[in-house]
A and B are shown apart, each in its own frame.
Chain A
């Protein structure tokens, strides 16, 4: 009995392959996008875990202030003075395959024992690592970059692009991707560094007196790649979740339709002796089979999608956060189970309602579509109540989030966005039904319009889910594109703020004054903007009204030159007594703070800060707050002259502002001509054109958001497919509805036009409702999610052109989705319409 009943149930899809396709498509798309993003996240996390096993070992690090390599003499001097420092040599080589690989040279004997770098082993392994021909330790996924297969790896000595050969290879799985670890002597030979080092590392707190020429970076100020990139991955996950939800809307629409069309079959089967519970069980089994197939298809495509996107994502993460991510997928077992679980779980949520309704319908009323429609009216009421409750919950979450400190509540923020989207989607069908009923009353004197509106009301139960999916996709599209557009404008402003001068230079400290004086004497140069930087601890915050708060917060101190150009470009979000007064106060020795510090510590203009410095604690008044996009840390800005004096920090870079019309290249050439021929390193080789830096930064920005845009466009595409699939699935029945009108004398072209305008009208209303929702979503993204993720708020920018385009896309998508069924109606011969008419 069970096999026959199952075969009979499934025979529906043989006659309606479009519905099966729609179901599988929904499951496939939902699962593919979700699994793809999760595959990227899982691979990236694996890479971070491996990188963190090396780099986040709480080692303090010493480098030269001028960025030059450290000499062997400096190292020996520090060791002789009793400091237990260990040298590191870092560099890059290019493999014969053209892939850039990081070389990490270590001295295992001087490394702190518990350091992740100390992976050279002990005993014979250590001897083999440290003595010729040395060893190259690398992770298996780095082999591809060297053009080697795993079985050929052991002791191979691959050649590099420059003709040199690597020491024999030894596989070490826990090393980060594209990293070659070797003894410092082997690395030095390979990189031709003549015995210099890039940095010295030591246990935290080991180094107390730092020589003047060196810069100490305490381990506490380092941020792991996992922490830095957390928000990036969370954003990807949120978009994938959105696609999953939209995909599941298709699934639910398809399931509802498939069940509605099988009501007669279910009644017949029950009348022929198949128990109701068996039928519900078989429907659940059908769901499981379809879910399994969809999930499998989705996971396979997701892995393919991830493989295609991963190199771009890896490049983005590398350029944005310096986080190395393997370009090949590395998927743990729980990824596969997770993908299957999420798809089946989603299917379960989408299908439970349908199964529940099927189980509750009485056998005698089972074949009546009327019972189903009466159910929809009840559903509309439930949707309104659930939507209102969701709206209230979103409001509650928003109120709670406004009270949380910055940097907290990211998940709750995403919860708010989800709740907002779901509440709006739930309210859409009741709202559309209400509008249609009202319009139908208004159109009483125009029978065809009245029919069209009444007919759309009848179609609503089937169209509702597709319209809900469209609303979610449109508002998400609008929200994300406004956020990205706003971010772009803000980012460009920030670049202007930080790169106010035409040229930038990092002169060697001993030549700084000479180069600065020479530049100021040039007729093309309007002014120079020296900068400097230091690390300090914020010891106390003294509010203008209130008692002092003791803190121990590591902050960056940044020196700026408030020249004419910089003042014009540097935005201030908040000042004590206006911009001009703030800049005058900065020149006089007061400070600005970045938004991150202001929000995180509740510091406002007028408050005073006590900072640690080599010359003793410094107390500064905060005279303004500036935006500082992309910086995860708190920062205090002072005039460079003040920073040099009070924090003993030498100037680090020089911005060169030229007069209007001055030739950048002639200044560059003159500078190189004058200083470049000296034997000692003057730093003129670091001369950079601001335009070039902006171009690179903008490229990185665009690449970061290209993935967001792609996922967003895919979501909209999925919603369009949902609409198309819904319309195709019911096109045969639509003809049955339209046949009586044709019989009454309405031409086929008029009928086709009516159908097109019905759907485009519904899509237009949905798109118009998506506009305020999209704006609300943008506001949530910039003022809630961004603050929770990064600690700073983005200004809200709206783009009317973009909004119009989205509305146009919605109507276009609906028109496109309606076109196929409309064309099919257009082409239906009158004879067939006649038979449809007889069947009604």
Chain B
């Protein structure tokens, strides 16, 4: 479903070009979950941004459901995100001026695929019942991240991209949120690409790859 073939990406820095991805190959199948690990600054988030079409590679090819992302123009890539992807960020990125209910429904509405029974199910499963009218700032960190996961899964995307989704949470909340996310991903039938630096977070996923100096490899032990 998602394929990276010899993807290169570098950034210009005052010290010269910084190669973040150096010929990355990766394959993610439908319904599969993949953890992407690496040290801070190793390029995990860059890889996720490329997968989401938020950025373009310098060289190589990224295809999603057989379509090369680089061949899509900006509105095309936006349509891809809207219709087929769900994104969960470490900083939640909820819309502060919308209440929990509207935040949860936002992406489904943008995609034109709002499903009331699925949304109700999500609210219930995410433990947000009774909090629908609250604004993000009135929710705890764990509640905010659960809401962000709900927003991403509301349109039942083909692929969920999660960038350190538990990085801002305490240990207990992190565990709860992760378990819930994996269960819901399974229920919705989505694939999952999760970026993390924590082996504990990566452990329950189907596969795990590690990004080191721009290359992807199976983690050693």
Q: Are A273 and B78 in contact (CB under 8 A)?
A: yes
Interface residues on B, range: 20 to 34
Complex-state Cα separation, A171 to B52, whole angstroms = 75
Query: Would you give the shortest CB distance from B142 to chain A, in whole angstroms?
Result: 15
Which residues of B have CB within 8 Å of A367? 93
Max chain A Cβ within 10 angstroms of own Cβ: one of B89, B98, B102 = B98
Q: Does A330 contact B (CB under 8 A)?
A: no
Q: Does B127 contact A (CB under 8 A)?
A: no
Query: Would you give the shortest CB distance from A273 to chain B, in whole angstroms?
Result: 3
Give chain B's interface secondary structure class: helix
Query: Would you give the shortest CB distance from B75 to chain A, in whole angstroms?
Result: 4
Residues 265-277 of chain A, each 1 if its beta carbon lies under 8 Å from chain B, else 0:
1011111111111
Q: Does A11 contact B (CB under 8 A)?
A: yes
Residues 8-52 of chain B, each 1 if its beta carbon lies under 8 Å from chain A, else 0:
000000000000000000000000000000000000000001001
Q: Are B52 and A264 in contact (CB under 8 A)?
A: no
Q: List the 3 closest pairs (A to B, CB-CB), nearest first.
A: A273-B82, A273-B81, A275-B78
Complex-state Cα separation, A13 to B98, whole angstroms = 11
Q: Are A274 and B95 in contact (CB under 8 A)?
A: no
Which residues of A have CB within 8 Å of B151? 272
Q: Are A273 and B74 in contact (CB under 8 A)?
A: no
Within B97-156, which residues are at the interface with A (CB < 8 Å)? Answer: 97-98, 102, 106-107, 109-112, 135, 137, 151
Which residues of A have CB within 8 Å of B98? 8, 11
The one of A16, A264, A275 that contacts B74, using a Cβ cutoff of 8 Å:
A275
Q: Does A827 contact B (CB under 8 A)?
A: no
Which residues of A have CB within 8 Å of B202? none
Q: Could you list 6 A-B pairs, sorted by A, with CB under 8 Å?
A: A11-B97, A270-B54, A272-B106, A273-B80, A274-B110, A276-B74
Q: Are B78 and A274 in contact (CB under 8 A)?
A: yes
Q: Are A5 and B110 in contact (CB under 8 A)?
A: yes
Which residues of B have CB within 8 Å of A272? 81-82, 87, 106-107, 110, 151
Which residues of A have CB within 8 Å of B78? 270, 273-276, 278
Max chain B Cβ within 10 angstroms of own Cβ: one of A4, A11, A16, A269 = A4
Q: Are A364 and B79 in contact (CB under 8 A)?
A: no
Q: Are B95 and A271 in contact (CB under 8 A)?
A: no
- Knowing A270-B78, A273-B80, A274-B78 are in contact, say whether A4-B95 is a contact too (CB < 8 A): no
Complex-state Cα separation, A277 to B73, whole angstroms = 12
User: A residues near B, CB below 8 A?
Assistant: 1, 4-5, 8, 11-16, 264-265, 267-278, 363-364, 367, 839
Q: Are B54 and A364 in contact (CB under 8 A)?
A: yes
Which residues of A have CB within 8 Å of B219? none
Query: Would you give the shortest CB distance from A165 to chain B, in whole angstroms?
Result: 69
Q: Are B82 and A274 in contact (CB under 8 A)?
A: yes
Q: Does B96 contact A (CB under 8 A)?
A: yes
Query: Would you give the shortest CB distance from A105 to chain B, in whole angstroms?
Result: 71
Residues 63-98 of chain B, each 1 if its beta carbon lies under 8 Å from chain A, else 0:
000000000001100111111010101000111111
Which residues of B have CB within 8 Å of A274? 78, 82, 110
Q: Are B97 and A1 in contact (CB under 8 A)?
A: no
- Knowing A363-B54, A364-B54 are in contact, say whether A271-B106 is a contact too (CB < 8 A): no
Q: Are A268 and B93 in contact (CB under 8 A)?
A: yes
The one of A5, A8, A278 that contacts B75, using a Cβ cutoff of 8 Å:
A278
Complex-state Cα separation, A8 to B107, whole angstroms = 11
The one of A16, A273, A839 that contacts B107, using a Cβ cutoff of 8 Å:
A273
Query: Would you give the shortest CB distance from B173 to chain A, in whole angstroms?
Result: 16
Complex-state Cα separation, A76 to B82, whole angstroms = 95
Complex-state Cα separation, A839 to B112, whole angstroms = 34
Complex-state Cα separation, A11 to B93, whole angstroms = 15
Q: Are A275 and B102 in contact (CB under 8 A)?
A: no
Complex-state Cα separation, A267 to B78, whole angstroms = 12
Complex-state Cα separation, A312 to B106, whole angstroms = 56
Complex-state Cα separation, A278 to B78, whole angstroms = 10
**Nearest chain-B residue to A363 (Cβ)?**
B54
Which residues of A have CB within 8 Å of B79? 273, 275
Complex-state Cα separation, A720 to B31, whole angstroms = 60
Give chain A's interface secondary structure class: helix
- Knowing A15-B135, A276-B74, A277-B75 are in contact, say whether A265-B97 is a contact too (CB < 8 A): yes
Beyond A8-B102, A272-B82, A273-B81, 12 extra complex contacts between A and B, CB < 8 Å? A1-B112, A11-B95, A265-B96, A268-B93, A272-B106, A273-B80, A275-B74, A275-B79, A276-B74, A276-B78, A277-B74, A839-B137
**Nearest chain-B residue to A267 (Cβ)?**
B93
Which residues of A have CB within 8 Å of B52? 271
Q: Are B93 and A273 in contact (CB under 8 A)?
A: no
Which residues of B have CB within 8 Å of A14? 97
**Nearest chain-A residue to B108 (Cβ)?**
A4
- Knowing A273-B83, A275-B75, A364-B55 are in contact, say whether A268-B95 is a contact too (CB < 8 A): yes
**Nearest chain-B residue to A13 (Cβ)?**
B97
Complex-state Cα separation, A274 to B52, whole angstroms = 13
Which residues of A have CB within 8 Å of B82? 1, 272-274
Complex-state Cα separation, A248 to B75, whole angstroms = 33
**Nearest chain-B residue to A2 (Cβ)?**
B110
Which residues of A have CB within 8 Å of B110? 1, 4-5, 269, 272-274
Query: Would you give the shortest CB distance from A768 to chain B, in whole angstroms?
Result: 39
Which residues of B have CB within 8 Å of A5? 110
Query: Would you give the shortest CB distance from B109 to chain A, in whole angstroms?
Result: 4
Query: Would you give the shortest CB distance from A282 to chain B, in whole angstroms?
Result: 12
Complex-state Cα separation, A108 to B185, whole angstroms = 96
- Knowing A8-B106, A363-B54 are in contact, say whether A271-B97 is a contact too (CB < 8 A): no
Max chain B Cβ within 10 angstroms of own Cβ: one of A5, A12, A271, A275 = A271
Query: Would you give the shortest CB distance from A328 to chain B, in whole angstroms?
Result: 46
Q: Are B93 and A4 in contact (CB under 8 A)?
A: no
Q: Are B55 and A15 in contact (CB under 8 A)?
A: no
Which residues of B have CB within 8 Å of A12? 97
Complex-state Cα separation, A363 to B87, whole angstroms = 14
- Knowing A4-B106, A364-B49 are in contact, say whether A273-B96 is a contact too (CB < 8 A): no
Query: Would you give the shortest CB distance from B37 to chain A, in whole angstroms?
Result: 22
Complex-state Cα separation, A367 to B107, whole angstroms = 18
**Nearest chain-A residue to B94 (Cβ)?**
A268
Complex-state Cα separation, A271 to B107, whole angstroms = 10
Q: Are B81 and A4 in contact (CB under 8 A)?
A: no
- Knowing A273-B81, A275-B74 are in contact, say whether A4-B97 is a contact too (CB < 8 A): no
Which residues of B have CB within 8 Å of A275? 74-75, 78-79
Which residues of B have CB within 8 Å of A839? 137
Query: Would you give the shortest CB distance from A77 to chain B, in whole angstroms?
Result: 88
Complex-state Cα separation, A294 to B97, whole angstroms = 23
Q: Are A11 and B102 in contact (CB under 8 A)?
A: yes
Which residues of B have CB within 8 Å of A267? 93
Which residues of A have CB within 8 Å of B137? 839
Max chain B Cβ within 10 angstroms of own Cβ: one of A15, A268, A839 = A268
Which residues of A have CB within 8 Å of B111? 1, 273
Which residues of A have CB within 8 Å of B80? 273
Complex-state Cα separation, A12 to B106, whole angstroms = 14
Which residues of B have CB within 8 Å of A1? 82, 109-112
Q: Are A271 and B74 in contact (CB under 8 A)?
A: no
Q: Are B106 and A264 in contact (CB under 8 A)?
A: no
Which residues of B have CB within 8 Å of A273? 78-83, 85, 107, 110-111
Complex-state Cα separation, A274 to B81, whole angstroms = 8
**Nearest chain-A residue to B98 (Cβ)?**
A11
Complex-state Cα separation, A367 to B92, whole angstroms = 12
Complex-state Cα separation, A394 to B94, whole angstroms = 49
Which residues of B have CB within 8 Å of A11? 95, 97-98, 102
Which residues of A have CB within 8 Å of B106? 4, 8, 272
Complex-state Cα separation, A14 to B102, whole angstroms = 13
Within B188-206, which residues are at the interface with A (CB < 8 Å)? Answer: none
Complex-state Cα separation, A749 to B81, whole angstroms = 50
Q: Are B75 and A4 in contact (CB under 8 A)?
A: no
Complex-state Cα separation, A555 to B137, whole angstroms = 78
Complex-state Cα separation, A364 to B96, whole angstroms = 19
Complex-state Cα separation, A1 to B110, whole angstroms = 4
Complex-state Cα separation, A273 to B54, whole angstroms = 10
Complex-state Cα separation, A5 to B151, whole angstroms = 15
Which residues of B have CB within 8 Å of A277? 74-75
